[in-house]
Each structure stands twice: as structure tokens, then as C-alpha cells.
Structure 1
């Protein structure tokens, strides 16, 4: 089995953005050393607990701090950006780190409506039509990154357009989604596809079935290619794992119930202000989908999920919290999660 990592660059209540970035570099080096296959960084905006606002910058930082692991976006929210800008960014990343770059593309805004408006309108009038144009935008990004580039019709004349002057390779392009839409689009384009199981948890089997049944082979991919994403906290004992999971569970409850969003709490802060009883069913439902346990039980659950959904790669989103006094430039419990899983599965 291949193991990979998803990182949202969480910001704890005791951290600055710079501290969180330092912790991500450290986590990526652990993943690289343990033999993880890929390390993806998300795109989220205007969130007090998430510093992953710019995947290309983060990818450059992580790829430069590691040796062999593939690094990519999980994902770039394409309607927020001009396709040429994305193509230029990832063509340069591939040129700098050949054979190590993944471009994961999503359709969701990755933020609240106000920030979405600022992203799409503040830089030259991009409108909500970008969502409707998503399939053609995907095609354009892929074509622009290819060595031959594309021909663009402007005022009746054909103009050559390439993302970089002399590309010799192209990043692997993945489509990401939490609905049937991206599954069907990926299948029609012959692209690899990932369903956001770590976030949605519902509809995974149906989306993967749609993708596999409708897959049309392409020059890049002869057969369907996918993997599973899952939130994970792994510790020496079940009790410790449960304790470490509390801050992220509380954050997800707040997100789903319209509660106050804040920097990720420390363990002690979460224990002093537990989830109200009315939200406990939501906590229990999320726990069922997450991997929270000892190395042995966590590995068994991951193997079971891989078998259930027919995948040979699982992307772990390590969500373990931190106790007071933890070095601000590190996330030891997240690193331990990766190390313990690697010991059992790699």
C-alpha cells in the first residue's frame, strides 16, 4: 500500500503563520523520510486555523525542503484563478522539481462568499461564469502546460500560447471533488480522480463507481486511478489518540454548525470547553469516519478502508492537536501519527 499526506497547514492558538509554516516543513521532512508517496497542500482562504492559502508557494517550499516525495495541490480551486496563471505556476514547479509535482484541481471556492467574490472579481473581473467554464478551464490548463502549448484565437488570428518556454515534462493532473460532477468529468477526460472522503464522508462509493464505470482511457491514463483520503490521529494508546483528536473534532463541529471559527485550540483549551451535548451525535458520526487509535487499530482500519473502496493508496490528513508548551515551530503529534502509520503499513 502507498501512503500519502494531505496538509492544510493548521494554525494553533499559540502559533503565528510563520510558526505553522515551519511545522509544515518539519512534517513534510518526516513524511519524506518515512517513505510516504506524495504530500498535497490544500487551498482555503480567510480561515483563522488554516494557512494553506496558496498551494503553488507552499509546494515550492515543501519540495525544496524534501528529497524524493511527490508534492502537489489538494487542490487548486480553479474558478478562483485564471487558467494561464495556474498553468504557468505548475509548469515552473515541474521544471524545478521534475517528476515530483502533482496538480490537483477542484471546483469549489474553498472559502466564504465574500472572500470568493474578492478572489474572482478583485483581480480583473472573473465572474461566477468561471464555475460553468470549469471543464474548458481544465482542458486549457493541461494544454498550456504541455510542451507544444495551445493555439489561441484572438481577433481572427491564431496565437501560440505556452505556460513556459521549453517544457520537457508536465505535472500529473488530478481532478478532486465531493460530488458526482468531478467524478464524471474526470472519467470523461481520462484523468485520475480523488473524492474528498476526509471532508464529506458520504457518497464516496457512489462517486468512485461513477468514475470507474464511465472512465474513458486517455493518452496519459489507460485505466481509472484514484485513492482515498482520511483524517487520522494515531498515538501509543487509544486514550491519548482520543485526547489528541478533540481540537480538530471541535473545529469541524463549529464549521458544520455555524459556530465560531478560531485558531486550532490546544488540547487543554478543548478540554476546558467541550462540545455541547446537542452536537455529540455529530462528533460520533465524524469519529466513525476518521482513523483514531493505536498503530495496530489505525493500520487495520486503513487496510479495511482501502479494501472497501478498492484502492491501493490512502492519503492521510494528520489532525492530531498539541498540548500547551509544545514548540511553536513543530507539530509533534502530527509527526508521530505519520511515523506510527509508516511503521505498520510501509
Structure 2
């Protein structure tokens, strides 16, 4: 740990060209064991329904498998999307994880809706505006179940034992501050959002502000190699915005720049510019700067990679940064 710098990992279970979806999910468990062996603080998984290229649809189930595959690393979600479920069901999922893996669980909660209109219909989500309006009340209801303060007692009983983090952009940090929850901050305005959160925080489920900054990160022995680690996902995201299909991540050597439109090339460069990548010295300096500006101590490493050996080397180098 450098200057209070800690690292955690979010694995979105990105599909990889040439691997089955079963192999991808098994790979998440291998990734968790690797992160644990390197001393990472948390290993989190995500929720995406019917998104091509992202087979990780059930974070509570996948987190259970991660917990069974590991021994000490904290496990959890980033996150369970509350509009996809009744608050009682989410409380039961979180409480079951906590009962199975006491004092190891972190519950990240998000507000994203289904990816497309057919997915939202399949999730029985109804009116989008109404769902967004209801989110704060649903979140309060969820916390009531976890604390054992609701008219219905969720089982297994949690007694507020599980830390809850909001996946928060600039607008939702005020809700986290009001309810006394931790935050996982992503996007371009993390420093300003962190400041707003700290200024408005009131003790609730936790007694003091807790901030995790989320970044796509790649570290390698050269800056070019680090950039190459991130290129397949940036490429897939740029193509997805044009085609509507998020395909499995291909090896960097199979990506042909000539096949991209000028708009897609611009999107690739924008995605890379928003990430943190480079040599250990470059990445370490940038992360310390970001943590200091936000008043945070922990970085959540995100981003999918098709080069699994390169990912392992990147996380090895990050672990060395955290331990130097």
C-alpha cells in the first residue's frame, strides 16, 4: 500500500473470442483466486441482462461462486441493479451472501435499467421515468430490510452487517451521503463528486465517508503494451455503439483499424483517453494524484482484456505498486 493506496477488482465477465460463456465464468473464479493471491482488497462482479458479450447476468450467484472459490478476499457486487428486482429479493441475496461468507461481503447497488426496450420489457420494468423516480424509495426499503427495521423480516437476518456502496455518478452521490452509504465513483467527474459526497455525508449505515474510485487501468513494462491491453475492449465498445452488438474481445493482433469508421476510431481514442494506462511509474503517479484529489484510499480496477496473461502481469505490477 502506497500512501494509503489500496486496489480492488471488478470483473464484468467479458466474453473473449474463442472461449465459451461457461469458460468465461469459470475464468472469473480463476481471476478471483489470482486477485486474492496478490493481496487485492475486494473482488466484485456485475449485472448485465441479455447483453451480447457480457454473460455475467446474476451477480449474487456469481459472487457466491467467487466466495466458495476463495478464502479471504472480500467479495461482492458492483453492482446489483435495484430497478431489476424487488428490494426484498435484493436484501435476501445480500443477506444470504453475508450468512455464507461472514464479514467478507460488500454490496454495491446501482440504478441502471435494462439495456434495450425488449430487455426492460422482459424484466417487467414498466415506465422508465417512474422507475428512476422510485429508486430512492426502493433503496430506503432495501436498507430497512437489511437493518431489520421493515414490517417484513428478511431472512437470513442481516442486522445491517453488510457494507452497502452506491454506484454513484455526480447526481447520486447526494443520496449516498444522505443515507450514510459508501460510494463507488466512476466517470469523468469523480473528484468533484467525491467532494460533494464528503461535504454532505451524514452517518447512516457507516459512520464516515467511504470512497472507492473506479478506473479502467492497464499497467505493462512499456506504455505501448499497456495501451494494447485496453484496445480490444475500447474497440468492441466503439463497434457496439454502431452495430448494437457487444462482441467478445478479440486479440489485439486481429483488430484492423481500416475496418473502423472515422467516428468509431474517435470513440476508441476517447475510451483510451479516459483510462489510466502506462508503465508502473506513470500509472502510480497518476493514481496517487487522483486519490489525493478525491480524498480516497482505494481504486477499483475495471476493464476487460482479451490478453489474460497481460492482465495477470498488469495486476502483478499494480500489486507491487500497492506494496512498495
Taking structure 2 as the reference length, the TM-score comes to 0.91
Query: Which shifted more, 45-54 or 287-296?
Result: 287-296
Structure 2: stretches of 5+ with no match in the other structure: none
Q: Secondary structure at the match of 2:123?
A: helix
Where does residue 300 of structure 2 map in the other structure? 315
CA RMSD, aligned part only? 2.1
* In 2, Cα distance between equivalents of 1:72 and 1:273: 40
Asked if 1:189 is matched to 2:179, the reply is yes
Q: Secondary structure at the match of 2:124?
A: helix
Give the superposition deviation at 1:166.
Answer: 4.4
Query: Which shifted more, 270-279 or 19-28?
Result: 270-279
Where does residue 250 of structure 1 map in the other structure? 235
- Number of aligned residue pairs: give it: 318
Where does residue 141 of structure 1 map in the other structure? 142
Asked if 1:118 is matched to 2:103, the reply is no
Answer whether contact 1:13 1:264 (CA < 8 A) is retained: yes
Taking structure 1 as the reference length, the TM-score comes to 0.85
Give the superposition deviation at 1:176.
Answer: 1.1
Q: Secondary structure at the match of 2:218?
A: strand
Return closer, same or farther for 1:273/1:13 CA change in 2, 3 Å cut-off: farther
Asked if 1:339 is matched to 2:304, the reply is no
Answer whether contact 2:215 2:302 (CA < 8 A) is retained: yes
Answer whether contact 1:232 1:320 (CA < 8 A) is retained: no
* In 1, Cα distance between equivalents of 2:18 and 2:278: 26
Give the superposition deviation at 1:145.
Answer: 2.0
Give the superposition deviation at 1:213.
Answer: 1.7
* In 2, Cα distance between equivalents of 1:247 and 1:110: 24
* In 2, Cα distance between equivalents of 1:309 and 1:179: 13
Return closer, same or farther for 1:174/1:297 CA change in 2, 3 Å cut-off: same
Asked if 1:297 is matched to 2:282, the reply is yes
Cα deviations across residues 197-253 of structure 1 (Å, max 9, x unaligned)? 3xxx2x3233222212221222x3222211110001222222222222211111222
Match of 2:10 among 3, 6, 10: 6
Match of 2:195 among 209, 228, 246: 209
* In 1, Cα distance between equivalents of 2:157 and 2:86: 21
Match of 1:283 among 262, 268, 274: 268
* In 1, Cα distance between equivalents of 2:223 and 2:320: 17
Structure 1 runs of 4+ aligned residues shifted over 6 Å read none
Where does residue 150 of structure 2 map in the other structure? 150
Query: Which shifted more, 275-284 or 60-69?
Result: 275-284
